[in-house]
Amino acid sequence: MELKRVVVTGIGAITPLGNTIPEFWNSIIKGKSGASLITKFDTTFFKTKFACEVKDFDPNLYIDKKESRRMDPYTHYAMAAASQAIENSKLDLDTIDKNEVGVIFSSGIGGILTFEQEIGFYYQHQQMGPKFNPFFIPKMISDIAAGQISILYGFRGPNYSIASACASSTNAMIDAFNYIRLGKAKVILTGGAEASITPGGVGGFNAMNAISTRNDSPETASRPFSASRDGFVIGEGAGCLVFEELEHALARGAHILCEVVGGGMSADAHHLTATHPEGLGATLVMERALKDAGMKPEDIDYVNVHGTATPVGDPSEAKAIIKVFGEHAYKLNISSTKSMTGHLLGAAGAVEGIAAILAVANDIVPPTINHEEGDDDPDIDYRLNFTFNKAQKRIVNAALSNTFGFGGHNASIIVKKYKA
C-alpha cells in the first residue's frame, strides 16, 4: 500500500505570548517571556506565585456565550485555536466533504478548574446533598474539546483525544499523520489544549517539587540547560494544526506551510515523573522518528527540545541528542521555547510543533532565553548550540520536535519544507 503524503495547511494558537499566530511568533523570535505573577487565584499560601498565563483572552470572540458557559477554559482555548487554524487553512466548509474531516485533539489533564469548582462546592455543602452542575462531567473530561470542535463544524471523521501527559498533543499529531497517510481521512484538525493554572494544578506540581519557585523573578525563572534551573514554569493555552492529504490540498489550491514526514514514540519504562537519566527513551523516540521519515540525522537542522528546565530532564535530553546525531549534533540548532511560553503540558507538543513549522517556513530558529554566561551544568555539553538568548537565522529544511510526558511517554515529530 502506498502511503499518502501529509502537509500542514493551517495553524492557530492561544498562548501566554499572544492569542494569534503572528503575536506568538513575533514574541518568541524576540525572546520575550510570558511569565508573570498569577492572577487567576490567590497565591498567598503557595510556594509558587507565578505562571505563564494566557492574557486578554475573550472566549466569546469564538464561541456563543451560552455554549461558552458549558465549557471549561481548556475547551475555550481549543475552540479558539481551531477557529484560527480553519481560517488560516482557507478550508471551504460549505463544499468540503465533512465525512472525510476528523478531529484528534488532546489534553493532558482536561477540565481541572471545573473539577475543583464542582468537588469543592460539594465538600463545602455536603448538608445540601449532591448538587452538581449537569455539565460537570462533559466540561471536565479530556476528550470534550475534540468533541466540541467536531460538533461545531460537523466534522464526522476520526474523532478522539489522547492522554499521555505532556506528550499528548504530539501523540495526537502523530495519529492524525498516520490516519491521513493510511487513507482514513482527507483532513484532520489536531493539537492540544490545557488550562491548569489553578490551585490544584499549581499546588500539585509544587508538592512534587516540579515547578520553579523563583518568585522574585518570574520572567527569568524558566532557564533550560542552565545550572541554576529549578523546575518548569507552568503555562496554558492551545495549538491547533490542519493536517491534510497532499493531493487534497493541491486540488483546492491550499497554501502549504510544510510537510509532515515522520513520527516516533517510545517509553522510558523507568519512573513515574523523571526521564531516564541516560536518555534511553529520548534516544529511541528520535531514532524512530528519523526511521519513519526515511531521513538521516544529518537531514535535521533544528530540534525543538522538550527542555523543561528540570534537573534530570535537560541533561538526559542533551545526551540523547548526541547519541542520535553524533558529530552532526554540534551543527544543529537546538532550542527550548518553554523558556518563553512555560510548559503548556498537554498543549506543549502542538504549540512547539507550530514553532518548529514556523522555523522551517521562515528560516529562523527561536532562542532558549534566560541563560547567563558561566551558569553552566557540568553534565551538559555546551558545544551543542542551544540558541541561547537570541534567535538565529539559518536555513531550516527540516525540524524535529520532542515532547516527553509523566509516565515515561515520549513522542517526536518531524516536519520539513514542502517540495513537489
Query: What pLDDT tens digit does each residue of the chain (420 aa) get?
Result: 899 999 999 999 999 999 999 999 999 999 999 999 999 999 999 999 999 999 999 999 999 999 999 999 999 999 999 999 999 999 999 999 999 999 999 999 999 999 999 999 999 999 999 999 999 999 999 999 999 999 999 999 999 999 999 999 999 999 999 999 999 999 999 999 999 999 999 999 999 999 999 999 999 999 999 999 999 999 999 999 999 999 999 999 999 999 999 999 999 999 999 999 899 999 999 999 999 999 999 999 999 999 999 999 999 999 999 999 999 999 999 999 999 999 999 999 999 999 999 999 999 999 999 999 999 999 999 999 999 999 999 999 999 999 999 999 999 999 999 998
Architecture per CATH, 6-416: 3-Layer(aba) Sandwich (3.40)
343 belongs to the catalytic site: yes
DSSP string, 220-258: GT--TT-TT---B-BB-EEEEEEEEEHHHHHHTTPPP-E
CB atoms within 10 A of CB 337: 30
The DSSP letter of residue 120 is H
Count Cβ atoms within 10 A of the Cβ of residue 363 and give its class: 0-12 exposed, 13-18 middle, 19 or more buried: middle
Q: What is the CA radius of gyration of the chain?
A: 20
- Is-contact 321 292, C-beta < 8 A? no
What was the pLDDT predicted at 1? 81
pTM of the predicted structure, to 2 decimals: 0.97
Q: Out of 76, 306, 371, 409, pick the active-site residue.
A: 306
What was the pLDDT predicted at 362? 98
- Is-contact 355 317, C-beta < 8 A? no
CA 313, distance to chain mean position in Å, is 17
166 belongs to the catalytic site: yes
Residue of 328, 322, 351, 324 whose CA lies nearest to 338: 351
What was the pLDDT predicted at 31? 98
CB atoms within 10 A of CB 127: 5
Measured between its terminal Cα atoms, the distance across the chain in Å is: 21
The secondary element (H helix, E strand) that includes residue 296 is none
255 belongs to the catalytic site: no
Q: Out of 166, 240, 248, 371, pick the active-site residue.
A: 166
What was the pLDDT predicted at 415? 98
Any idea where the domains of the chain sit in the sequence? Answer: 6-416
Q: Out of 76, 248, 276, 343, pick the active-site residue.
A: 343
List Cα–Cα distances, 341 to 36, 133, 233, 371, 409, in angstroms: 11, 33, 8, 15, 21
